[in-house]
Structure 1
Amino acid sequence: MISINNLSYFIGGRALYENASLHIKPKDKIGLVGLNGTGKSTLLKIISGDYQPSSGEIQKSKDCTIGFLNQDLLSYQSEDSILEVALEAFKETLALQAEIDGVLKQMETDYSEEIINKLAHLQDRFEANEGYTIKAKAEEVLEGIGFSTKDLSRPLKTFSGGWRMRVMLAKLLLEKPSLLMLDEPTNHLDLPSIQWVENYLKTYEGAVIVVSHDQDFLDNCIETTVEVSQHTLTAYAGNYSFYKSEKKERQEIQQNAYENQQQMIKQAERFIERFRAKASKSNQVQSRVKALERMDKVHEVIDDNLAVNFKFKFSQQSGRDVVVLEEVSKAYGDIQILKNTTARIERGDKIALIGANGKGKSTLLRIIDGTEPIQGERKEGFNVIKSFFAQHQLEALNVNNEILQEMLQAGSKKTEMELRNVLGCFLFTNDDVFKKIKVLSGGEKSRVALAKTLISEANFLLLDEPTNHLDMQSVNILIQALQQYEGTFITVSHDRHFIRGVANKIWYIENHQIKEYLGTYEEYVQWKSTQVEKQTVQTVPAAQKEKPAPKKKSASTFEQNEIKKIVRQLEKELEHVEAQIAEIEIQKASLEDVLADQSLYERPEEMEKVNKEYHAVVEKETILNTEWENLAEKIEQLQDQV
């Protein structure tokens, strides 16, 4: 389908690819992996035609179509609803619908046989294109990746960048191109949505290339792994776990070959040095010199999997109880987040708080931190020293500081050499530590903020989505760091590889209650699967099958009229909330534009003010959306009684 032959691509004088080749066949499921900066996203842009190779060729079959999800789509805006945007995937079918509508309009005055035949022909084509099911398909995909039914009618422009990216993903999945290219698709998805996309890609009829830092996602939806390393492309006939195992074996073979070759080279060089001046040995010396010149050198193996050693220092250990929540309730107006729930965090707990977006995970972190007002009681234990990491802390970094300077100002009392060692663990080596914060990428800023969190000498860490923007190597470094951490932590994350590596307890929010599973993530998944099976079996008991359900008692005419009055009142409240949502979304979009201005970060006080305004608006938006959901649910329940 696509053949890449002897591809070379240079940025300035630096080579990203040199004589690299890759063949993509129909239905291939490929994961593209490699360190940051090796050119994974660049390769996708070369395949899509956005970039032109320096040399080499890319051959595509005539019927090959390409769909490309990349971060550039974050800026896409539209007045149309997200359902209408997703339906743009069916351009031909929508054009047929428009043509059919035109013919039907024409038939109001023209009943000729020609017009009737034209309508029949168009309707046949429309049915062959499955035109009557495209709306249902679009709704299924949008809801699969996390949108609620009521969201489908909202304009695309009212959603944040991450949610707009989900719409673009839905549109691409519905287009079903011959080759679907996805660049970090899980960055904007919660765990249920990630699992839905995995299942969709498994049965996708075309070829897929995925760039992702989510190792579980790659394991579950790819069949071939292609590594970008040393300016070339190396294919492994399996998923990511197979790639890691196979690569380890290849590296052992390569390292042995390298060491054997180095020994041969040293022997040849000693011979040349020893007998260079002897005329009787001149032919043998020249033979060895030429042999060395012709030799294909085996490269020494460079291990990408860094083993790190963090030395955490606590000025004091916490007491046995770190934080205790007793009969805690949290609501925003009528929107209930938690209700009379109790939970306990003990010294040494490594807790992963999981679940879909919108369940209140970040709110619960703030409650545990003591920064969110609640009903009930929050007790903090003896000698607890907290450190909170969240994505907004990336904006709190002083953009004019150098990395080392930012670390020195964190107040950890560590020496410059100790801080350099910590930064080295987070891939900042040599002169990297003198880079200004303002020139760093999102992933690099995350690593700096995480390093600051870990050197704080806190004995209790609260980590909100710490793996966002991190590549695989950085995620593995963080896992190693937390495995060596002797304190207590709770983390919100959708990265299953990360959760599996660090958690000894699982928390989730269900029916406004904090639920706890005492075990690892793997054990939790197995237990949850068993619970679902039990619920499925119990859904339709035998007795229920034999006895027909009692008929629903109809409400009296008086009761129906009263219910209708309540519904009308609730609908007015719903319209009022919708107006507030529209207004708050305009404020949010305006603040996002301000935050996108790089010059803002040179004015720290103004930046902090705008950042606070933005987070207040986001929180208010969440409250209003939940209020809208509750009102819509009440209206639906009441209408069922009429």
Structure 2
Amino acid sequence: MISINDLSYYIGDRPIYDNASLFIGPKDRIGLIGLNGTGKSTLLKMIVGDVQKTSGEINMSNETTIGFLNQDLLSYMTDDSILQVAMQAFKETLKLQEQIDQVLKEMEENYRDELVDQLAKLQDRFETNEGYSMQAKAEEILEGIGFSTEDLQRPLREFSGGWRMRVMLAKLLLEKPSLLMLDEPTNHLDLPSIQWLETYLQSYEGACIIVSHDRRFLNASINKIVEVSGYQLNLYSGNYDFYLKEKEMRNEIQQNAFENQQQKIREAERFIERFKAKATKAKQAQSRVKMLEKMDRINAVVDDTPQVDFKFTFRTKSGRHVARLQNVSKSYDDLEILENTDAHIERGDKIAFIGANGKGKSTALRIVAGTEPHEGTVETGHNVTTAFYAQHQLEALNVENEILEELKQAGSGKTEQELRGVLGCFLFSDDEVFKKIKVLSGGEKSRVALAKTLISESNFLMLDEPTNHLDMMSVGILVQALKQFEGTFLLVSHDRDFISKVATKIWYIEDKQIKEYPGTYEEWEWWYNKEQEKKKASQVETAPAKKEKTKAASPKPKPDQESKAIEKEIKQVEGKIEALEADVNRLEADLARPDIYEDQDQMSKTTNRYQSKKAELEKLNTRWEELVEKLG
């Protein structure tokens, strides 16, 4: 589908790619990985033509279509609703709808046979393009990635950058390009939305290239890994876990080959040195010199994974009780987040706060940090010193400071050499530590702020989405750092692999309460799934429960009565849907008959009835979905 041959790209005299090649097949789902700055996003931009290559070829067929989700889309603003923005994906079908409306308007004023023929052709193309279901598809995808039904008619302008990016993702998914390119899509998604996108991509009909630091997301979504390393595109057939094993094996083979070659070189050099002056051996010595000159040298394997040794120290050790929440409530206008909830953090707790966006995780984190107004009490324990990392912490960096100077001001007491070592772990090496904060990218600022947090000598860390904008290696560094950390931390994250490696307790919000599971993420996931299965089984068992005796006062319906009422309404709605679908099919058949257009009044009435029935059918389908969801 797309062939990349001998691709080179230079910034000045610095190579990003040097004669790199890759073929992207029509069903390939590729995870594009590599260190920050190796050119992953640049490659995607070269494929779409936004960046011009230095040399080489990128060839694709005329039929190839490309959808590209990148950070530049964050700047897109409009007063159109998010549903309208997503439906821009159906550009051709929407244009057909406009043409149909125009023809119908013309027929009202000047009925002609040629207009009837034109309308019939347009409606046939509209139906072939599945125009009658395009709105339902847009709603399904928008709700799949986290929007509520009420959100769909809100203007795009009202949403934050992350939510606007979700709308652009929905638009791309609806376009169904032959190549879908997603640059860090999980940065803008919560856990349920990430799981929904995983499932969607598994059955996606086209090819995908995904840049992501989320290991579990890549494992579930891709079938090939392309590693950007050594200015080349190195292909591995398999998911990310397979890549790690395969790379280890390739490195072992390469290292063995390197050592064998070095042994041969040493033997040849000793022979040359020993016999170059001997007339009887001079010819053989010269032959070995030529052999060494022609030899393709094998490079030694370089371990590019830095090991973290921060040697965390605390000014003081915290008391046993780090924080205690009692009867805490929080609401925004009519939206109630927490209601009289309690929670307790003890020294040494490694807690991951998980769940869907909008449930209040970040709000609860700020309440613990003391930066969010609330009802109830939050008590901080004895000798607790806190460091809080969130995306807004990037704004607190002094843009005129150099990176090294910014870390010096963190007050850790570390020497310059120690701070340079920390910065090296966060991929700032040599003279890069003297770059000013104002010239850094968002990802680089994230790394600086994170490094400041980790060296702050605080014994209680609070981290809000710390892995956003980090590459795989930086996430690995953070994992190593938190494993060495002997204090207490509470973090919010949607990266399941990251959580599973660092957390020993799980917090989540349910029924406006902070709930705790005393175990790892895998243990919580297994337990939670079992609990959901029990609830569903319980609902099925209680559905045909015995009727309650009628009382003088009208009591609140019990769960079994509610289930029975819902089942009854579902049957009623299904009957209405069946009847309406029959009406719609009959009206579609009527509108497909050419003779109906000979009677303008009859055609107008039939069209109006058809549109009315379709609207009623959509409402009933929505109601049916709501009832089924209530029933579980």
TM-score norm. by structure 1 comes to 0.83
Aligned length: 553
Ranges in structure 2 where 5+ consecutive residues have no aligned partner: 555-625, 628-632
Aligned to 2:610: none
Aligned to 1:252: 252
Query: CA offsets, 1:178-221, max 9 Å, x none?
Result: 11111111121111111111111111111111111111111110
- 1:440-479 alignment, distance < 5 Å: 440-479=440-479
Cα shift at 1:247: 0.5
Q: Matches of 2:537 and 2:33 in 1, distance apart? A: 42
Question: Which of structure 1's runs of 4+ aligned residues deviate more than 4 A?
Answer: 545-550
Aligned to 1:82: 82
Aligned to 1:150: 150
Cα shift at 1:542: 6.3
Cα shift at 1:534: 1.8
Identical-residue share of aligned pairs (%): 68
Give the 3 Å change call, closer, same or farther, for CA 43–328 of structure 1 in structure 2.
same
Q: Matches of 2:142 and 2:519 in 1, distance apart? A: 33
Aligned to 1:131: 131
Cα shift at 1:375: 2.4
Query: CA offsets, 1:395-449, max 9 Å, x none?
Result: 1111111222112221122222222222222222222222222222222222221
Aligned to 1:219: 219
Query: CA offsets, 1:302-345, max 9 Å, x none?
Result: 22322222201112221111111122222334432211111110
Q: Matches of 1:128 and 1:403 in 2, distance apart? A: 58
TM-score norm. by structure 2 comes to 0.84
Given the alignment of the two structures, is residue 434 of structure 1 paired with residue 431 of structure 2, yes or no? Answer: no
Aligned to 2:493: 493
Letter paired with 1:38: T
Aligned to 1:104: 104
Aligned to 1:291: 291
Give the 3 Å change call, closer, same or farther, for CA 347–86 of structure 1 in structure 2.
same
Using the TM superposition, name which of 68-77 and 88-97 deviates more. Answer: 68-77
Q: Matches of 1:92 and 1:448 in 2, distance apart? A: 46
Aligned to 2:339: 339
Aligned to 2:183: 183
Q: Matches of 2:491 and 2:412 in 1, distance apart? A: 22
Aligned to 1:162: 162
- 1:242-641 alignment, distance < 5 Å: 242-541=242-541, 544=544
Q: Matches of 2:413 and 2:7 in 1, distance apart? A: 50
Letter paired with 1:222: I
Query: CA offsets, 1:540-581, max 9 Å, x none?
Result: 32652897999xx9xxxxxxxxxxxxxxxxxxxxxxxxxxxx
What secondary structure is seen at the aligned counterpart in 2 of 1:469?
coil
Letter paired with 2:85: V
Query: CA offsets, 1:93-131, max 9 Å, x none?
Result: 111111111121122134444332322222121111111
What secondary structure is seen at the aligned counterpart in 2 of 1:328?
strand
Letter paired with 2:164: R
- 1:4-19 alignment, distance < 5 Å: 4-19=4-19
Given the alignment of the two structures, is residue 37 of structure 1 paired with residue 23 of structure 2, yes or no? Answer: no
Aligned to 2:618: none
Give the 3 Å change call, closer, same or farther, for CA 222–121 of structure 1 in structure 2.
same
Tell me if structure 1 keeps the 8 A contact 2:34–2:471.
no
Q: Matches of 1:375 and 1:158 in 2, distance apart? A: 28
Using the TM superposition, name which of 2-11 and 504-513 deviates more. Answer: 2-11
What secondary structure is seen at the aligned counterpart in 1 of 2:201?
helix
Q: Matches of 2:325 and 2:510 in 1, distance apart? A: 16
Q: Matches of 1:422 and 1:311 in 2, distance apart? A: 10
Give the 3 Å change call, closer, same or farther, for CA 126–349 of structure 1 in structure 2.
same
Using the TM superposition, name which of 165-174 and 431-440 deviates more. Answer: 431-440
Give the 3 Å change call, closer, same or farther, for CA 549–233 of structure 1 in structure 2.
farther
Q: Matches of 2:377 and 2:159 in 1, distance apart? A: 36
Give the 3 Å change call, closer, same or farther, for CA 273–129 of structure 1 in structure 2.
same
Supply the RMSD in Å over aligned alpha carbons: 2.1
Query: CA offsets, 1:230-283, max 9 Å, x none?
Result: 111111110111111110111111111111111211221222223333332221
Cα shift at 1:159: 2.2
Q: Matches of 2:543 and 2:327 in 1, distance apart? A: 38
Q: Matches of 2:163 and 2:183 in 1, distance apart? A: 16
Aligned to 1:200: 200
Q: Matches of 2:502 and 2:542 in 1, distance apart? A: 43
